[in-house]
Amino acid sequence: MVLYREGLPTGERWSRCGFGLPLRSWRASWGRVRVDVDQSLEVSVRTATRHVVLLPLGRHEIRVRGRGFAPSALTVDLTGEQRAIVAITPHYLESISRSTPLGQLRAHVVSGPEELHPYRFYKGCPVFVSAVGSSTETAVGVAAVAAAVYVLAQHVLVGLLLLACASVVVPTLLIGGIGGLVMAVRFLRLSSDWRAPRKAGTPAAPRPLHTLT
């Protein structure tokens, strides 16, 4: 079984989270989650990174949870040699409460890497273009802070005004830019079968990290 932690879709992150919630959006996309297999094996799963668990054939119960998320469970039947890919996806606008401000964390089985994010995103936007855009976004955020600090040293009131304006936009620029760069690097570190899935056959998996017997 291959466990894969997804982040928030780009459209949901920007259009719905907005400029006022960049830190919460970052937490929902990048916070560590824990996966419990049959209540006997617990795995910490990072965003955009595969985690492989060797399991015997049969039915297995998967429970996913994370700080700030509403947990969920999934039952997976392993009936042959084919690997099962379980995607762990945050649903930002579902099951929100004071104790679960990041919404629902849901596990579901996908048929192949082509159904996962960021593959769907990079299918229409080359990784190079995304990396350049993320770098530019980060640079603009840093430049905005530097300009505000420079003006502050010259004119206190004007500098404070610029810092106040920058505090609204800069966190989103920096978080989005850095997050995009990290996602691009992790995507490029995947095997070719996951970056460009074959039309037929089972995708290759890395060395197993855990075994449940």
Q: Would you kindly state where each structural domain of the chain is located, as residue ranges? A: 2-124
Residue 118 sits at the vertex; the CA angle it makes with 116 and 120, to the nearest 5 degrees, is 65
User: What pLDDT shows up at residue 22?
Assistant: 61
- Asked if residue 189 lies in contact with residue 47, where contact means CB atoms within 8 angstroms, the answer is no
Overall average pLDDT of the 68-79 stretch? 92
d(CA 52, CA 111): 16
- Asked if residue 105 lies in contact with residue 70, where contact means CB atoms within 8 angstroms, the answer is yes
Q: How far apart are the first and last CA of the chain?
A: 13
Lowest mean pLDDT among 77-91, 157-171, 191-205: 191-205
Tokens of 17: 């989270």
Q: What is the pTM of this model?
A: 0.77
From residue 13, give the alpha-carbon distance in Å to each of 27, 86, 91, 133: 11, 22, 10, 16
pLDDT one-digit tens code per residue, 25-59: 778 888 889 999 998 899 999 998 899 999 999 99
pLDDT one-digit tens code per residue, 155-184: 888 778 887 877 777 877 887 788 888 888
